[in-house]
């Protein structure tokens, strides 16, 4: 056994599992073959971690979570696919996270310092950035990409292949079926934009100059009835090209699914 690691006698840990130092595994948990559990991680009782899962260091997984089960996708035929959980992530009770599919890139990735609350579902081939919060009962369909510092409210459903930009906020009980641009608030069924995530941006110390430029860019894109191409040109000509504005514009230009408006 590695240094400082405590495994309850009733837990089942496959001999091929790589268990780091100072790991705790609770009663009746099952750690299957070809898994990696990073140092300092705590796994409560009745957790199942399926094959080909890597859990980073300093994670906390609460009771009854299902981590790395086969994807709920009819295109999956038992191929070897993966799930990676980033450092410092918290996974609460009854959360379910599925591995990737062969046709979808083969890996699901949960970023560092994520907080997945109870009953969250992260489907196959999703990717989340750093310090993402998924509130109770929120559901990610397959192939979704969430940027850094995204917050998703309770009971939110996000359609497959949707992207959600950095620092965005999706309000509770929403259904997001198109891309949500960075730095914005979306809510409703179907979700609509409700302005910039001003409170969140101020909490993350965005400068007044950046907030002012973003406000102008947001208005051009979503308040005066321009096409996307027209808005891009007007923002380039009339708004200071700070990095935040450039990110905002590039996200919208690169959308293949369409942008929430």
* Of 88, 142, 165, 200, catalytic: 142
Known catalytic residue at 77:
no
3-class DSSP assignment, residue 222: helix
Asked if residues 116 and 89 have their Cβ atoms less than 8 Å apart, the reply is yes
CA 150 to CA 132: how far, in whole Å?
5
Known catalytic residue at 189:
no
Asked if residues 49 and 43 have their Cβ atoms less than 8 Å apart, the reply is yes
* Of 73, 125, 148, 179, catalytic: 125
**Tokens describing residue 197:** 């995530």
CA 126 to CA 241: how far, in whole Å?
31
Helix (H) or strand (E) holding 184: strand 184-187
Asked if residues 226 and 234 have their Cβ atoms less than 8 Å apart, the reply is yes
Burial 70-103 (b: 16+ CB within 10 A, else e): ebebeebeeeebbbbbbbbbbbbbbbbbbbbbbe
Known catalytic residue at 34:
no
DSSP for 11-53 reads: -EE-TT-EE-TT-EE-TT-EE-SS-EE-TT-EE-TT-EE-TTE
Cα-flanking dihedrals φ and ψ of residue 127, to 5°?
Answer: -140, 125
* Of 124, 147, 165, 179, catalytic: 124
Kindly give, in sequence order, each residue whose CB lies less than 8 Å from that of residue 127, ignoring residues fewer than 6 positions away: 108, 109, 111, 144, 145, 146
Number of alpha carbons in the 13 Å side-chain half-sphere of residue 180: 37
Cα-flanking dihedrals φ and ψ of residue 182, to 5°?
Answer: -60, 150
- Supply the residues annotated as catalytic: 124-125, 142
């Amino acid at each position: 056994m590695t240094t400082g690691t405590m495994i309850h006698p009733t837990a089942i840990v496959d001999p091929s599992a790589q268990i780091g130092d100072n790991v705790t595994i609770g009663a009746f948990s099952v750690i299957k073959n070809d898994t990696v559990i990073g140092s300092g991680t705590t796994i409560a009782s009745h957790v199942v971690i399926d094959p080909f899962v890597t859990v980073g260091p300093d994670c906390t997984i609460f009771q009854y979570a299902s981590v790395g089960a086969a994807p709920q996708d009819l295109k999956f035929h038992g191929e070897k696919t993966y799930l990676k959980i980033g450092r410092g992530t918290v996974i609460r009770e009854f959360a379910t996270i599925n591995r990737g599919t062969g046709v979808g890139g083969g890996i699901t990735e949960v970023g560092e310092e994520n907080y997945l609350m109870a009953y969250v579902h992260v489907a196959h081939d999703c990717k989340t950035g750093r310090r993402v919060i998924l509130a109770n009962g929120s559901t990610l369909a397959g192939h979704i990409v969430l940027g850094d510092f995204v917050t998703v409210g309770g009971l939110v459903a996000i359609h497959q292949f949707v992207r959600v930009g950095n620092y965005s906020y999706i309000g509770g009980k929403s259904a997001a079926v198109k891309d949500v641009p960075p730095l914005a608030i979306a809510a409703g069924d179907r979700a609509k934009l409700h302005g910039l995530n001003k409170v969140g941006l101020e909490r993350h110390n965005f400068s007044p100059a950046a907030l002012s430029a973003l406000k102008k860019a947001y208005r051009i894109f979503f308040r005066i009835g321009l096409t996307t191409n027209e808005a891009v040109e007007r923002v380039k000509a009339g708004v200071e090209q700070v990095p935040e504005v450039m990110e905002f514009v590039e996200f919208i230009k690169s959308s293949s699914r369409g942008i929430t408006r």
